[in-house]
Amino acid sequence: MNAIVNNFNTIISQNPTLVILLTIWTLVWKGLSLWKASGKRQPVWFVALLVLNTFGLLEILYYFFFSNMKKKEKAVSVLEEKSPEEEKEGE
């Protein structure tokens, strides 16, 4: 375990530009996903995105896929519902 920490510290000290780029990358995606989660009033996602650090991977998945899931489900249910005209025809 100590060797892993030493290797990580070596990588960080030798590549400060990489650390800065990863930090900017993470902050951008975290900000976008937190903004979207708060706007959609999804507190569980908001806390998960805030606490977990996945270098932008979870944030990207949420932003493009998970945040749109309810919209798709609602769209399907709206398409399946009958209009008042269709209900009158069925009677």
Domain ranges of the chain: 2-90
Q: Is the pLDDT of residue 19 over 80?
A: yes
pLDDT digits (tens, 9 = 90+) for 37-91: 999 999 998 999 999 888 888 898 888 888 887 655 555 554 565 556 666 665 5
Position 91 scores a pLDDT of 57
pLDDT reported for residue 28:
93
Q: Compute the distance between CA of residue 42 and CA of residue 57 in angstroms, rounded to an integer.
A: 18
DSSP 5-73: HHHHHHHHHH-HHHHHHHHHHHHHHHHHHHHHHHHTT-HHHHHHHHH---TTHHHHHHHHTGGGHHHHH
Residue 33 in this model has a pLDDT that exceeds 70? yes
**How many residues are given for the chain?**
91
Whole-structure pTM value: 0.60
Query: Integer distance in angstroms from the first to the last C-alpha of the chain?
Result: 73
Mean pLDDT of 20-29: 91
Per-residue model confidence (pLDDT) at position 3: 82
